[in-house]
A and B are shown apart, each in its own frame.
Chain A
């Protein structure tokens, strides 16, 4: 005779099997001494755990000194400050990095200037892309270790999934906008005298080396970082969650 799977027997003891399975196990137990003996031992252990001593805590639980978390708005504002602070730090780092790169570029003349107009932007975009990728990574890793924190709040409802997808879409759109922006700038280059700027032409600006255009990609990247931080913060702290038990 084939014996019962211990897991099945354990679930039977806990009345956690469908009715048909419960009946099947009962019939087997009536006919199999080995399984019957195992059942009685497991059942005995279950009883012993159920009847373990019940201890009373001595300290009186007192929460009166703590603010109640009923004010969602205030709690959200306070909770939001953390990712905003992270975003602010990242912005400062990105700006500082870009300033350093900008200051390091040589200033040798017109053509060189045009290259320097391009390279810092690409480098800046690269730095900012890495920063935004790091931020996205941080946001996703923040989900896991903070689970112990988040588990104290109810688990995410199924409906929260679109929020994560929309955040990913936002990330994709923002990152995609940077190369698109570069392409747009390249395409908008009027070439009335193509020979004059033949080599650097793809990268030349009509009003090429103006301060405003140089900082435009930086502003875009900064906005992306803030959007990522805000999205991560909303997802982590603010998104309404449903109790899962």
Chain B
């Protein structure tokens, strides 16, 4: 039990954030995450070792999809009403913005991206979140979604193409995006 609690502590945030963007409702996301861990606990005897994070995520993604299927209606823009306080994330992954304006652009762009992510087909969004948000490899994401790695590659490519198209569809969003690319351009070049 102690070891399982440790698993929960280590992985619940990752599961929750993917589930949240899938079911688009914080309360439902909490239920699904709880349910995923209960199922993991119950089927612990069947786990044969390997990537436990991937195993947990697979359970969570499946439960989220089950919930989507059983939902009568899909709430739109529920993330706007979320009570959750985001943890500071600028230090994770890419470089922090150099000045407040960059910070403000990033924050506004995040809101735009959440909205556009919600419009993606479920499979494309899930693949993108698993790889970009959670850092799974194509192979790991393929195992989680029970598809071939080539399918993951294709879904991510289509997701990005669609996001790019949507981002360019509105003048305001396109301006924000261009400012982000210009301001962070040198950082991206260094990382690339």
Contact = CB atoms under 8 A, between A and B. Distances in A.
B189 to A, nearest CB: 8
B188 A47 contact: yes
B184 A44 contact: yes
A143 to B, nearest CB: 12
B94 interface: yes
Contacts of A61: 8, 12, 33-34, 37
B140 A58 contact: no
A51 B93 contact: yes
B92 interface: yes
Contacts of B16: 55-57
A96 interface: no
A245 B144 contact: yes
Interface residues of B, number: 83
B104 interface: no
Interface stretch (A10-18, A83-91, A201-209, A228-236): A10-18
A16 B188 CA distance: 18
B160 A46 contact: yes
A interface: dominant SS: loop
Nearest to A67: B42
B133 interface: yes
Interface in A108-146: none
Contacts of B138: 11, 14, 16
Contacts of A10: 153, 156-157, 160
Interface string A62-85: 111011111110010000000000
Given A56-B16, A245-B54, A148 B66 contact: yes
Contact of B4 (A54, A56, A57, A63): A63
A42 B55 CA distance: 29
A55 B38 CA distance: 21
Interface string B64-103: 0110010000000000001111110110111000000000
A148 B65 CA distance: 8
B51 A52 contact: no
Interface in B18-73: 20, 26, 29-30, 33-34, 36-51, 54-55, 58-59, 62-63, 65-66, 69
Contact of A7 (B66, B106, B153, B167): B153
Contacts of B192: 39, 43
B45 A72 contact: yes
A52 B20 contact: no
19 contacts: A6-B157, A6-B161, A39-B192, A40-B188, A41-B181, A44-B177, A45-B160, A45-B167, A48-B109, A50-B132, A57-B30, A58-B30, A63-B4, A68-B45, A71-B45, A152-B59, A152-B63, A245-B50, A245-B144
Interface of B: 1, 4, 8, 12-13, 16-17, 20, 26, 29-30, 33-34, 36-51, 54-55, 58-59, 62-63, 65-66, 69, 82-87, 89-90, 92-94, 106, 109-110, 113-114, 117, 128-129, 131-133, 137-140, 143-144, 146, 153-154, 156-157, 160-161, 163-164, 167, 177, 180-181, 184-185, 188, 192
